[in-house]
Amino acid sequence: MNDGKVSGASVQDNTLQCDEQRSAHNHVWIQKPLLSVSKIVHGQWSNGVFLISAAAFLFSCSSLCVKLLTKSSSITVFQIMLYPSLICWLLTSMLLALFDDLRSGLQFVLLNRSMMLTVLRAAFGALAMTLFYISIQRMALKDAVTLFFTSPVIAAILEKALLAGGTPSDSSTWGCLATVVGVWMISQPDDLIQYRTQSFSIFLATSAAVANACAFVTVRALSLTAVTQPEVAPSALVLTWWLHLVVSCTAMVPTISNAYLHTSTSPAALLGSYETCLLLCISVAQFCGQLLLNRGFQLISATRGSSINVLQVLFAFFWDSLFLHSSIRLWNMIGASSVVLGVMLVSFSSSGQDSNQNDS
């Protein structure tokens, strides 16, 4: 009897040991992939090229969603601006509350001398977004995105004229010339009937690029102020917070006015499941894209970042052909290539001048 009890206990102990070994093996089998994924994510978070490339992809997806909304829905451009900006503003407020002092966003504008530049940067950003979305509504996605990406060249010219001074380098001159040639090629209409409509759309997209360039120069002016007065310099999160706030307020006025004037087409009635899904995609793409872009520019130079961000032009051509079934003309391809070349020439020229200033 005792031998039977001992053998039964030993069998039970062996069973428990096997269960423990099996659970430990399963734990290791689950833990290894999680550790691998964590290493990959941590490694890519420190890879500036990957982050800005991913941001360019997300922003191009946002532009595609805007085009789809304006093409097949009665929702207005201001509604497309309003709802994602409100969501991004709330998310940014949560980040400020978690990682920064939320009151700093309010106190910054109310108390220090950089108030005008901060509000001006947000106003330029809101104007650029409005004009860019309207141009997307009126013209092909690839053309609107390409024209909008003349903003780095315009920003370089404005920064040279207003902040840096001096004469432009040869590469900057050639870059500006290549950009102008690219814009001229894109502006060529298919026929004379489309000339007047296309000319106004080109004016809107180019004006959006100018407004976006002014926003860049304003941020640059703020960074120069931070060199001498770091205590009054806003963080990137505070600038983003104010941008989404101004965009939301700007888009809210015409949206509410339209709701009162056309009660049968209220904003709530226009938002079906299709529109809601696209608006959520725009919100996620804008918020994550801005986060990745800010992180990327912390890791690599502005020159490389600006050059990589031009990938949005290539993505726009791909989306236009795949989802919108738009024909790609030879003039469009040559013009887009010329704009990309001009942006890269001006970016590398600006990088060389910045390095020389830092060395001196």
- Predicted pLDDT of residue 247: 93
204 contacts 134 by C-beta, under 8 angstroms: yes
From 94, 128, 62, 56, select the one nearest 279 (Cα to Cα): 62
Q: Is the pLDDT of residue 82 over 70?
A: yes
Q: Which structure tokens are listed for 9?
A: 């206990």
In tens, the pLDDT along 162-210 reads 766 555 666 777 777 787 788 777 766 655 445 566 788 889 999 999 9
pLDDT value at residue 7:
52
Please state, in angstroms and rounded to a whole number, the distance separating the CA atoms of residues 69 and 261.
Answer: 22
Cβ contact 267:255 at 8 Å: yes
**pLDDT band for position 63 (cuts 50, 70, 90):** very high
The greatest distance separating any two alpha carbons of the chain, rounded to the nearest whole angstrom, comes to: 106
Distance (Å, whole) CA 310 – CA 293: 13
The mean pLDDT of the chain is 76
Packing angle of the helix pair 115-138, 77-99 (nearest 10 deg):
140
pLDDT tens-digit series, residues 244-300? 999 999 999 988 887 777 654 555 556 788 889 999 999 999 999 888 887 887 677
Angle at 314 between CA 323 and CA 55, to 5 degrees: 95
The reported pLDDT for the residue numbered 58 is: 95
- Contact present, 354 and 223 (Cβ < 8 Å): no
DSSP 150: T
CA dihedral over 68, 71, 74, 77, signed as positive or negative: positive
Amino acid at position 263, single letter: T
- Share above pLDDT 70 across residues of the chain, in percent, rounded to a whole number: 68
Q: b/e for 233-252, b at 16 or more Cβ within 10 A?
A: bbeebbbbbbbbbbbbebbb
How high is the pLDDT of residue 322? 86
Q: Which runs of consecutive H residues, i.e. helices, occur in 262-329?
A: 267-270, 273-299, 302-309, 311-322
- Is there a contact between 72 and 65 (Cβ–Cβ < 8 Å)? no
How many other C-beta atoms can be found within 10 angstroms of the C-beta atom of residue 201? Answer: 22
Q: Find the helix packing angle between 236-261 and 77-99, rounded to 10°.
A: 150
Cα–Cα distance, 154 to 211 (Å, whole number) = 10
Q: Please tell me the pTM assigned to this model.
A: 0.77
Question: What is the model's pLDDT at position 197?
Answer: 66
Q: Would you say 154 and 209 are in contact if contact means Cβ atoms under 8 Å apart?
A: yes
